Chain A
Amino acid sequence: AIRMTQSPSSFSASTGDRVTITCRASQGISSYLAWYQQKPGKAPKLLIYAASTLQSGVPSRFSGSGSGTEFTLTINWLQSEDFATYYCQQYDSYPYTFGQGTNLEIK
């Protein structure tokens, strides 16, 4: 199975900050990568697919980049509602696998 590794696992930031989360795949997955946001007690929400395509309705302060084995999720001008856990997920091949998650907390 393809292993997905996110960094950092958690960190603190302030509203207005720009933050970047990195996701690395254990083998090349082209651009077959999605990012999800999950808030406590809620189902995950799709933010980005195809590594950089913003899902409909997601604010433009979210962006994704990368291909192959290294990917990033960037959030510009952090808002209070962005404090959550973020997961990357590869859909290049089954079993589809997730990163371990990045918990973004308020500083």
Chain B
Amino acid sequence: EVQLVESGGGLVQPGGSLRLSCAASGFTFSSYSMNWVRQAPGKGLEWVSYISHTGRTMYYADSVKGRFTISRDDAKNSLFLQMNSLGDEDTALYYCTRDDGFCTNTNCYRWWPYWGQGTLVTVSS
């Protein structure tokens, strides 16, 4: 059974940093690209970041570019999100997701059948 378990959330002051983790099990982690998706309280879903299965390709939402860094450790079956310079707008429940999909010669197309339960990040003084 595929399982994704996030951790590392908490209360942090504006301008502070936090590192989120996502522990994966039930599948060959190194074969799959992964994402972080967040949801502010009472709001909709926002994709945050993507990392390829090789770890060589990363994408970020404009709202976090330059502040957040996604990474992975295949030996530990873990995904990470280093978050720096946090602001009120980063307060959200952060989910990790596993990609499914396919690639053509020119592009890849991915959807998310597996989500963790989320870890809550609260930025407040």
- B-binding residues in A (CB < 8 A): 1, 32, 34, 36, 38, 43-46, 49-50, 55, 87, 89, 91-101
Q: Is the interface of B mostly helix, strand, loop or mixed?
A: strand
User: How far apart are A59's CB and chain B's nearest CB, in angstroms?
Assistant: 16
User: How far apart are A88's CB and chain B's nearest CB, in angstroms?
Assistant: 10
Residue of A nearest to B102 (CB): A50
Q: B29: CB under 8 A from chain A?
A: no
When the two chains form the complex, which single residue of A44, A91, A94 contacts B45, counting CB atoms closer than 8 Å?
A44
- Interface residues of B, count at CB 8 A: 21
Chain A residues closer than 8 Å to B46, beta-carbon distance: 98
- CB within 8 Å for A43 and B115 given contacts A91-B110, A98-B44, A100-B44: yes
In contact, B47 and A96 (Cβ under 8 angstroms): yes
29 pairs, A vs B, C-beta closer than 8 Å = A1-B62, A34-B112, A43-B117, A43-B118, A44-B45, A44-B95, A44-B112, A44-B115, A45-B115, A46-B111, A46-B112, A46-B113, A49-B100, A49-B113, A87-B45, A89-B111, A91-B111, A95-B62, A96-B47, A96-B50, A97-B47, A98-B44, A98-B45, A98-B46, A98-B47, A99-B44, A100-B44, A101-B44, A101-B45
In contact, B61 and A95 (Cβ under 8 angstroms): yes
Q: B59: CB under 8 A from chain A?
A: yes
In contact, A49 and B95 (Cβ under 8 angstroms): no
Apart from A32-B109, A89-B111, what 10 extra A-B contacts exist at CB < 8 Å?
Answer: A43-B115, A46-B111, A49-B100, A91-B101, A92-B109, A93-B107, A95-B47, A96-B47, A98-B45, A98-B47
In contact, B109 and A91 (Cβ under 8 angstroms): yes
Chain A residues closer than 8 Å to B111, beta-carbon distance: 34, 46, 49-50, 89, 91
Chain A residues closer than 8 Å to B50, beta-carbon distance: 94, 96
In contact, B113 and A43 (Cβ under 8 angstroms): no
**A99-B44 Cα distance, complex, nearest whole Å:** 8
**A95-B48 Cα distance, complex, nearest whole Å:** 8
Chain B residues closer than 8 Å to A32, beta-carbon distance: 109
